[in-house]
Amino acid sequence: MASITKRGRYWRVQVRRQGYEPEQGSFDTKKEAETWASTVESRMLRRVFHDNKQAWATTFADALTRYKEEISVHKKGAKQESTRIARWQAHPLATRQLGSLSSNDFATYRDELRKAGKATNTIRLDLALVSHLFTIARKEWGMPSLLNPLQGIRMPAASNARERRIGAAELKRILDASDQSALPAVLRLAVETAMRRSEIVTTLAWNQIDLGARTAHLPDTKSGVPRNVPLSSVAVALLEALPGHRKGRVFDVTPDAISRAFGRARKRARALYESECTETGTEPDPKFLMNIRFHDARHEATSALFEKGLDIMEAAAVTGHKNLEMLKRYTHLKAGNIAAKIDAASAAAVDSNIPAPHPGEKLREYLPTPSKIALISKQIGIPKRELMEIIAGRGRIDAGLAVKLEVLGPRAEMWIEMQAHNDLQVVRRRRDAAKAGSEHHHGRTGADVHKFSEGDSPVDPQLL
């Protein structure tokens, strides 16, 4: 029969039955204890019970060590999981027996991390590791009666997908501030190819690159599926410019070294930016060069693939994402770019005589005040007067200036498209006006022609 007693916060159960060694368990509530005892007694009665001695003879710390040696070592994220296991082994729960751990223990752990401000995903990964450990212990380590206490607690809700992209101006400043020789090329390749940090510095090898065919083969990826990465002309130029012999790995550097170098470069770039703002008496943009990680380069590259016109299957082939949901988490199309495409599509569908807006109207949205114009003028190296002329509708945005204006957010293609569309509309209006004037002239009487010759022309001479 079962003996149920309360000790401290927990309910302890001991089941005794002839032919079996005493079985014991620890639970958060009396109801859970009674349910477990009833299940154990029923199994003993039917001669299908497996004892739980192994679970009570194994500490959580020992189980974590075994999990690390037998399970984690075969995972691609073995290094990160090793750090997570070490954190668990330093926790007071590590000294407890597996059989004594309850749902309440892990719910308390979850709440402690929440109060400490830990990221939701960090908490989820910590708990998921332990949940899998209990599953393995029950199925493979001779503990068939061991219950998984993680199945009885609420997991933190998944965090919102990260939407940070690296702007062109931010990228340039980080590259300029780098103190690590490999970082500039690695970061630019990440933006050009959407490859992960580990794929560039650990997997990418010269014997897997065909510069003529403009492809790089990755035999080992995070998803476990090899893939061929197309190389843009910029990516090819970056690889061709790398010094040294083209043997072995392309970069002789570790992923962690790249991340640390990126962090240092970002901090220096931000400090320089703030110093410049102080000198010009302007308020620093609180988001500029802030909250950026190296992995955001993959977000930027993935988003850019769609903005360049690739479809879903083509983009997935480049990035290696297995499903649309993950591809969506890395795709953050800019509303301004989408709005420009909508405007362009609408303009193409309506009468060509309707004037297209001058790109200066759009530029005014980003530079609404003289102080903002002055700041951007200095930042991109364009005279303030030239920017004001464009905003007033008297200047043009060429390709060179469009690239510099990427500091404002929208990619250069948007400015170029708006300017080209405006130019096209102007040319069409001049053509149509000239044609209308010519037809009107041929249909006039002699008196009308006389009046026309005296300058009473319905057509502006500058349009002819």
Residues 6+ apart with CB under 8 A from 10: 26, 27, 28, 102, 104
Q: What is the pLDDT of residues 75-97, one digit of tens each?
A: 878 888 999 999 999 999 999 99
Answer whether residue 389 shows pLDDT above 90: no
Q: What is the pLDDT of residues 418-446, one digit of tens each?
A: 888 888 877 877 887 777 766 655 555 44
* Core vs surface per residue 184-217: b (16+ CB within 10 A) or e: bbbbbbbbbbbbbbbbbbebbbbebbeeeeeebe
Architecture of domain 168-329: Orthogonal Bundle (1.10)
The confidence score (pLDDT) of residue 51 equals: 64
Nearest CA among 179, 202, 186, 198 for reference residue 263: 179
pLDDT class for 346, splitting at 50, 70, 90? low
pLDDT class for 459, splitting at 50, 70, 90? very low
3-class SS of residue 158: coil
Answer whether residue 348 shows pLDDT above 80: no
Question: What distance in Å separates the CA atoms of residue 72 and residue 356, rounded to the nearest whole number?
Answer: 60
Q: Which residues in 256-383 belong to E strands, given as ranges? A: none
Answer whether residue 319 shows pLDDT above 50: yes
Question: Based on C-alpha coordinates, what's the Rg of the chain?
Answer: 33
Q: Any idea which of 54-63, 320-329, 417-426 has the lowest mean pLDDT?
A: 320-329
Mean of all residue pLDDT scores within the chain:
81
Q: Any idea which of 132-136, 245-249, 353-357 has the lowest mean pLDDT?
A: 353-357
CB contact at 8 A, 113 and 126: yes
Per domain, the residue ranges of the chain are 2-49, 60-152, 168-329, 335-423
The confidence score (pLDDT) of residue 452 equals: 36
Token pair for residue 266?
């970002």
The confidence score (pLDDT) of residue 335 equals: 59
3-class SS of residue 397: coil
Question: What distance in Å separates the CA atoms of residue 381 and residue 315, rounded to the nearest whole number?
Answer: 35
Q: What is the pLDDT of residues 108-132, one digit of tens each?
A: 999 999 999 888 888 999 999 999 9
Q: What is the pLDDT of residues 179-215, one digit of tens each?
A: 888 999 999 999 988 898 989 998 999 999 998 888 8
Length of the chain: 464
pLDDT class for 49, splitting at 50, 70, 90? low
pLDDT class for 324, splitting at 50, 70, 90? low
Torsion of CA 68, 70, 72, 76, to 10 degrees: 150
Higher pLDDT, 176 or 362: 176
Token pair for residue 249?
């790995």
Span 90-109, average pLDDT: 92
CB contact at 8 A, 227 and 251: no
The confidence score (pLDDT) of residue 447 equals: 44
Residues 6+ apart with CB under 8 A from 367: 373, 376, 387, 391, 408
User: Looking at this protein, which amino acid is placed at residue 320?
Assistant: G
Higher pLDDT, 122 or 48: 122
Question: What backbone torsions phi and psi does residue 143 show, to the nearest 5 degrees?
Answer: -125, 60
CB contact at 8 A, 387 and 363: yes
Percent of the chain at pLDDT > 90 equals 27
The confidence score (pLDDT) of residue 351 equals: 46
Q: What is the CATH number of domain 335-423?
A: 1.10.260.40
Longest dimension (CA), the chain: 128
Highest mean pLDDT: which range of 21-35, 56-70, 319-333, 434-448: 56-70
Percent of the chain at pLDDT > 70 equals 83
Question: What distance in Å separates the CA atoms of residue 161 and residue 155, rounded to the nearest whole number?
Answer: 17
CB contact at 8 A, 319 and 305: yes
Span 316-329, average pLDDT: 72
The reported pTM is 0.53
DSSP 165-190: ---HHHHHHHHHT--SSSHHHHHHHH
> Token pair 């690296």 is at which residue?
166
Higher pLDDT, 87 or 310: 87
3-class SS of residue 224: coil
The confidence score (pLDDT) of residue 439 equals: 62
> Token pair 């010269």 is at which residue?
206
CA 193 to chain centre: 14
CA 298 to chain centre: 6
Q: Point out the residues that are catalytic.
A: 196, 222, 295, 298, 321, 330
